Structures are given as structure tokens and as C-alpha cells.
Amino acid sequence: MPSLTYLTLDKDVRQVQQTDVDAFAAQIQGGVLRMGDAAYDEARKIWNATVDRRPALIARCTSAADVQAGVQFAAKHRMLLSVRGGGHHIAGNAVAEGGLMLDMSGMKTVDVDAAKRTARVGAGALLSDFDKAAQAHGLATPLGINSTTGVAGLTLGGGFGWLTRRYGLTVDNLMSIDVVTADGARRTASATSEPDLFWAMRGGGGNFGVATSFEFKLHPVGPEVYSGLVVYPFAQAQKVLRAWRDFNRTSPDALSVWTVMRKAPPLPFLPESAHGTEVVIFPLVYCGEMKDGEGAAAPVTKFGDPIAVALGPNPYAGFQTAFDPLLAPGSRNYWKSNNFSDLSDEALDMLIANIGRLPGPACEIFMAQLGGAMARVKQSETAFPGRDAHYIMNVHGRWDDPADDDKVRDWARRVFQEAAPHATASGYVNFLTEDEAARVEGSYGANYARLQTAKRKYDPDNLFRMNLNIAP
């Protein structure tokens, strides 16, 4: 009798009868893909091109019932299981080699209740889907900065962006989650229903179940915000980075000023002579009255002698896509990340030295400014660690030629190691790569024991292990 070969949770090779596979496929409204099907290769592709895995089955989920069937099938056969939302996580955990991948990309619905300032968002929605729907009503919630990121993965790992200093993390604005747990049950987790599960899923990643939808609170934002870029030549890096750090210590919560250090892309407002040279870029967003934004941001233009200043009113949803061209899918990517409570002169000098050693034109180091509302939430209130992080660094290795794999990864690891003495012990789990499992416990710190307790309650057999895993 025909059968399908697959990998178990323990990576053993087993077979399941084709009749069982066919019966499962009949339950999935969006259909099930197998190797050789026309849409299979496109469905297994994700953002990071270093990930090239082949699931035994891809279930194209369009409803919570589809997800429930997928979880039950995987649990019955102890089949390695992964969940693909936006497919944007650097580690590539969305794709289970030889296992079952639940493809959530068909669940993109975003329902906004403008009167209540809430939104119900499907687990396959991208940031662009959410921003577009909410901005139609002049509303938003804190999300990331790349519009092709999936809402689900971003949220489960914490979520930060331009609005975080004023309105907190993505998880701080989460009201409830619909989830399918390892026993196949459909649950709603909130402050009053399954509160332990709700606590754990606000930062604990995909360790406790498959989220099918999220309910968020929204805030009045835009539709235009004072925003843009200020660009300085790299020769002024030491001066302007110190000025930026000092300015940030007293800047208002409504203003977020980050820094990106890299070779200048051919932006239309930059002189051609700057293209391809190392620069220090300060992207910023003021989330408040437009008339106040210009004054609040003015000091950023006076850190030194800028090459270019491109600040003014911009559509919020448009600025959310500003970095998309630099983060387009299809390239090879490797990240290393540290959290910082502050940036010493020595830490800034270390960053400057490593920008002088960039291994490729698309590689960069960015520093996100946090604090504000995020830091005023107690460490124990959600699973998200690192409330003391006023900066998150992402060493972003990005390249196209596999021959450059070692060169770029070695550079990223060197920056991480040199930054470690200046950083906190915690890390941002959404930025951890697949070779950083050892950092998971340290990243969660005092919250880790409670997360293990929740894991034992909701996933004692560790069905959900294709993630930055919290072992029961």
C-alpha cells in the first residue's frame, strides 16, 4: 500500500499510509501540497534564502478548523511540525524538513472596530495588511519596520517598532489570542481566560500552540507622521553617535530615533558621491502632533554636518515600508543581536570599528532606540524579557553568493562577541538564529521557569519545537 515518508519529532524516519494522508488532506479547506505538486516549491520558500527545506506535507490553512486538523494529525503521528505565518524569522523555523508545515498565509483577514479602537487580525496577515486596514481609520498599534513581516511571529516574540516608546511593545497591546494547543483544543487566551497561556504567549514565541487570530487595541496615529532620515558621513561617526546617545537620554516618548550604519544605498536625496560609501543614518518617527514633530527632531540635524536631511510629514503606512527595498526576500541572511541598557563610548567605538570591516554592500548594523512606555511595564507582566533594554542591536549580514557564507557570518559573530561585554544578558528572541538555542534560557531570565511551567501544562510532549524552544 502506498505510504508517505516523514520525520518524527525526534527526527526518526517513519511512514504514514497514503489513505491517512488523503483523509487528512480532505479536512484542509485550502488543500495539502506534497513534493512534486506545482505550487510546492513556492509555498516552502521563505524570506531567508539560506533556508532550503522540504516538508513532507504543506497544509494551506484557511481557518482555525484547518489548523486544528493539522495539529491533531501531527500529534497522532508524532510528525515534526512547523508553522509559517509571514515566513520572516531569521532562523527559518517556519519550514519543517520532512515534516508538516502549517501555512497560515491564507488567513489574512483584518477586522477593525474603529469605535472601540480594536482589531482582530488573522495569523497569516502581514504588517502591511494590518497597517493598511487600521490606517484607513487613522489608527495603528506598535508593529515592526518591514511591511512583509508576519504579524503572528512578530507578536509572539514581543514586537517593537516606531511606536514602541509611546505605546509599548506589540504584546503590550494584545487583548486576546485564539489558539490551538497541542491537545487539539481551540482556546481563547486573555487576561481573564487561560491567563497562564496568555502570559506565556506574550513573548514566549510559538512554544505553546498555534495562534489563529489576535485581538489588538489601537491608537490614533497619522495618517501622516513627522518622519524621515538624517544622513551623516562616516568620518563624523564618533561625534554624531555620541550626540545621538546623549540626546536619546532625555528625548520624549513620542520620538524614536534609531541608527543604521552601512554603505549608502542610491537614495534619490543623497549626492551621487555618497553612494556606496559608509554612512551613519538616523531614521526617526515622531508619533504626536505634526506641529511638535519638527521641533522635537531638530537636534538630530545638528549632531554634525549632515550629507542629507529628508524630514517632514509622511504617511505612516508609507514609512512602514521605507526599509522594504533593503529587506526584500530572496537574499541570504544571518543576524546576531545584543540588548543594551545604555551605550558607552567604548561600545560605540566598537560599532564604528566593525562598520569599517563590512563584508558586503548590503551588510549593516542597526540600533533600535527603545525605553519609554515599554520600560514602564513590569518584567513579570508578560513573558517578554529585556524591559531594561534601551537599545537592541541587530548585526545584519545580508548577501547573495553562497561562497560568502563564512565571511559574512564570521563578521556578524565577531561584532556580537565584541559587543557582549557592553550588553545585557537578555536577547530579543525574534532576532535569534537557529544556532543560538543556548541563548534562549538566558534571554528569558527570571521568566524562564514560569515559561517551562506553562510549557508542561500546554505542550508536555514538546510538539511545538520548531521555534526558539522552551523545553518542558
Relative orientation angle of helices 18-27 and 64-77, to the nearest 10 degrees: 160
Q: Which three cell numbers stand for residue 92?
A: 527559518
78 has a pLDDT exceeding 70:
yes
With helix as H, strand as E and coil as C, how does 281-317 read? EEEEEECCCHHHHHHHHHHHHHCCCCCEEEEEEEEHH
Instruction: Report the percentage of the chain scoring pLDDT > 70.
Output: 100
Give the Cα separation of 274 and 232 in Å (integer).
10
Tens digit of each residue's pLDDT (9 = 90 or more) over 407-443 = 999 999 999 999 999 999 888 989 998 888 889 888 8
Q: For residue 395, what are the contacts with CB-CB under 8 A and spacing of at least 6?
A: 335, 336, 337, 354, 365, 411, 412, 415, 416, 419
Residue range 110-221+445-458 forms a domain whose CATH class is alpha beta
Cβ(47)–Cβ(87) below 8 Å: yes
Distance CA 114, CA 151 (A): 19
**Beta carbons of 187 and 42 less than 8 angstroms apart:** no
| Range(s) within the chain of domains with CATH label 3.30.43.10 | 3-103
CA 336 to chain centre: 13
Q: Is the pLDDT of residue 74 over 90?
A: yes
pLDDT tens, position by position, 122-148: 999 999 999 999 999 999 999 999 999
382-406 burial: b if 16+ Cβ within 10 Å, else e: bbbbbbbbbbbbbbbbbbeeeebee
Q: Which of 196, 71, 180, 182 lies closest to 451 in space, CA to CA?
A: 196
C-alpha 385, offset from chain centre: 15
Span 288-310, pLDDT tens digits = 999 999 999 999 999 999 999 99
Percentage of the residues of the chain whose pLDDT score is greater than 90? 92
| Fold adopted by 224-438 | Vanillyl-alcohol Oxidase; Chain A, domain 3 (3.40.462)
The pTM of the full predicted model, rounded to 2 decimals, is 0.94
Report the phi/psi class of residue 220: left, alpha or beta, with left for phi > 0 and alpha for psi in -120 to 50: beta
Residue 19 has pLDDT above 70, yes or no: yes
Is 114's pLDDT higher than 90?
A: yes
- Give every strand in the sheet of 57-60, ordered side by side: 32-34, 57-60, 100-103, 81-84
Omega prior to 223 cis, within 30 of 0: yes
Among all chains, which residue has been given the C-alpha cell 538616523?
282
* Secondary structure (3-state) at 261: strand
Domain boundaries for CATH 3.40.462.20 within the chain: 224-438
Least confident of 103-107, 280-284, 321-325: 321-325
Residues 6+ apart with CB under 8 A from 41: none
Task: Render the burial of 94-114: b for 16+ CB within 10 Å, e for the rest.
Answer: bbbbbbbbbbbbbbbebebee
Mean pLDDT of 264-271: 91
Q: 363 phi and psi, to 5 degrees?
A: -85, 150
pLDDT value of residue 121: 98
Tell me how far apart the alpha carbons of residues 420 and 422 are, in angstroms, rounded to a whole number: 5
pLDDT at 1 over 60: no
140: left (phi over 0), alpha (psi -120 to 50) or beta: beta
**β-strand pairing of 118-122 with 100-103:** unpaired
The better pLDDT of the pair 384, 438 is held by 384
| Residue 360 in this model has a pLDDT that exceeds 60 | yes
C-alpha to C-alpha distance for 373 and 424, rounded to whole angstroms: 19
Residue 425: per-residue pLDDT:
82
Classify strands 81-84 and 308-315 as parallel, antiparallel or unpaired: unpaired
DSSP notation for 172-204: GGEEEEEEE-TTS-EEEEESSSSHHHHHHHTTS
Q: Alpha-carbon distance 391 to 371, whole Å?
A: 8
For residue 307 the three cell numbers come to 550629507
The answer to whether 341 and 390 have CB atoms below 8 angstroms apart is yes
Question: Where are the CATH 3.30.465.10 domain residues in the chain?
Answer: 110-221+445-458
Task: For residue 233, count CB atoms less than 10 angstroms from its CB and return exposed for 0-12, middle for 13-18, buried for 19 or more.
Answer: middle
Q: Would you say how long the chain is, in residues? A: 472
**C-alpha grid cell for residue 422?**
557592553
44 vs 433: CA distance, rounded Å: 19
Q: What is the DSSP letter of 103?
A: E
Instruction: Identify residue 85 by its one-letter amino acid code.
Output: G
3-103 classified as CATH 3.30.43.10? yes
